[in-house]
């Protein structure tokens, strides 16, 4: 494990210690837009990023009524071709959170930003999300040290890496339809094609796959199962077969959703097994039918919500934990 930690490389370490753009100064809120009584779009000036980043925040119903209280915080990470509005645009997250005394934080992560401090950085997404934003939420919005992180697709990959790289930061990490093994040829192909489509050079993200293989391993969840000890992990994926929830979608969109999910079940099963070997508390939900699409992710969000809130200690949702545990036991 020490070799993997050192694999962060001198370049990444220098980025975090004192080169231009590293987070010596504190991130700060420079603008707030009120969307409704609980939802805010905030603009955060980030030293790590060298620019401002938008973040959507849902405040607990009791946030103003309990001005001295701190609240658990749930970080929600979007996919590679999306932005910070994704979870509220595509799901009923706001309604789900209405009865839960938690702060929900949805930061932007760029198009194919890979939730990483880039090898040729900036950007330094990981530093922004796991250091600057965490501190800012504690300082400005009374976030507590009880945290969870949920992501889908590339966001699930980010959730896993953040949990592994910062042990103890998150009590719960959930990855929906996420690649988990960068050594899988299908994943390498998908990342290559996706990054080319949006003009991202992967050598700038993690360096050359051969010469900088240590950096690629440092960002590979499958290479560090022991690092998840102490974090509750949930992995979910569909079987890549279209179902009733895919009806009405354009054929080319359905095909892309099928292909996007096809390589994931096998590697997720293998990864879950390696986590269990390391005594990590992990649950899986391998559902059928299921494609790489929001229809299934919306359903999965409802499925994990009781356990997610239970891990955070949200009083409003503890009662749902027992029901979720019973169902989970039947599908492991």
pLDDT in tens, 270-319: 999 999 999 999 999 999 999 999 999 999 999 999 999 999 998 554 43
Confidence at residue 118, expressed as pLDDT on a 0 to 100 scale: 97
Confidence at residue 117, expressed as pLDDT on a 0 to 100 scale: 98
pLDDT tens, per residue, the chain with 332 residues: 333 333 333 333 333 433 334 446 899 999 999 999 999 999 999 999 999 999 999 999 899 999 999 999 999 999 998 999 999 999 999 999 998 899 999 999 998 899 999 998 799 999 999 999 999 999 999 999 999 999 999 999 999 999 999 999 999 999 999 999 999 999 999 898 888 888 899 999 999 999 999 999 999 999 999 999 999 999 999 999 999 999 999 999 999 999 999 999 999 999 999 999 999 999 999 999 999 999 999 999 999 999 999 999 985 544 344 434 433 433 33
Give the pair of three-digit tokens for residue 50. 């060298």
Quick check: bond before 123 cis, omega within 30?
yes
Give how far Cα 173 sits from Cα of 12, 46, 114, 230, 300, Å.
24, 24, 17, 11, 14
Residue 179 in 3-state DSSP?
coil
Q: Which helix (H) or strand (E) holds 106?
A: strand 103-107
List the one residue out of 265, 175, 179 whose CA is nearest residue 223: 179
Residue with tokens 């209280």: 69
Give how far Cα 268 sits from Cα of 6, 182, 244, Å.
26, 12, 24
Confidence at residue 24, expressed as pLDDT on a 0 to 100 scale: 60
Give the pair of three-digit tokens for residue 302. 């409802």
Confidence at residue 315, expressed as pLDDT on a 0 to 100 scale: 57
Provide the pairing of β-strand 232-238 with 282-287: parallel
CA–CA distance, 175 with 181 (Å, rounded to integer)? 13
Confidence at residue 314, expressed as pLDDT on a 0 to 100 scale: 80
CA–CA distance, 104 with 143 (Å, rounded to integer)? 10
**Cross-strand pairs, 235:** 175, 284
User: How many residues in the chain?
Assistant: 332
Q: Is 106 exposed, middle or buried (0-12, 13-18, 19+ CB in 10 A)?
A: buried
Confidence at residue 23, expressed as pLDDT on a 0 to 100 scale: 40
Residues whose CB is less than 8 angstroms from the CB of residue 19 and which lie 6 or more positions away in sequence, other chains included: none
CA–CA distance, 191 with 186 (Å, rounded to integer)? 9
CA–CA distance, 223 with 1 (Å, rounded to integer)? 9
Confidence at residue 120, expressed as pLDDT on a 0 to 100 scale: 87
């Amino acid at each position: 494990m020490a070799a993997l930690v050192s694999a962060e490389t001198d370049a990444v370490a220098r980025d975090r210690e004192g080169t231009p753009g590293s987070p010596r100064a504190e991130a700060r809120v420079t603008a707030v837009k009120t969307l409704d009584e609980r939802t805010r779009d905030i603009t955060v000036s980030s030293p790590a990023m060298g620019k401002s980043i938008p973040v959507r925040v849902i405040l607990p119903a009791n946030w103003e009524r309990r001005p001295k209280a701190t609240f658990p915080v749930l970080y929600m990470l979007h996919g590679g071709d999306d932005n910070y509005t994704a979870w509220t645009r595509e799901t009923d997250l706001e309604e789900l959170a209405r009865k839960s005394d938690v702060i929900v934080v949805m930061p932007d992560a760029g198009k194919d930003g890979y939730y990483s401090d880039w090898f040729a950085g900036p950007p330094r997404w990981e530093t922004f999300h796991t250091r600057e934003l965490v501190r800012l939420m504690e300082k400005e919005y009374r976030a507590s040290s009880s945290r969870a992180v949920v992501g889908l697709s590339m966001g699930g990959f980010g959730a896993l890496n953040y949990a592994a790289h910062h042990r103890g930061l998150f009590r719960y990490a959930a990855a929906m339809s996420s690649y988990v093994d960068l050594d899988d040829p299908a994943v390498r192909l998908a990342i290559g094609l996706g990054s080319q489509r949006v003009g991202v050079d992967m050598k700038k993200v993690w360096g050359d796959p051969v010469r900088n293989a240590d950096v690629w391993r440092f960002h590979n969840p499958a290479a560090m199962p022991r690092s998840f000890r102490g974090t509750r992990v949930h992995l979910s994926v569909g079987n890549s077969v279209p179902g009733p929830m895919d009806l009405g979608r354009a054929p080319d969109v359905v095909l892309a959703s099928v292909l996007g999910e096809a390589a994931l079940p096998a590697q997720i099963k293998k990864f879950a097994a390696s986590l269990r070997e390391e005594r990590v508390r992990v649950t899986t939900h391998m559902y059928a039918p299921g494609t790489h699409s929001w229809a299934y992710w919306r359903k999965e969000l409802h499925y994990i919500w009781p356990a997610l809130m239970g891990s955070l200690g949200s009083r409003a949702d503890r009662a749902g934990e027992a029901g979720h545990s019973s169902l989970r036991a039947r599908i492991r």
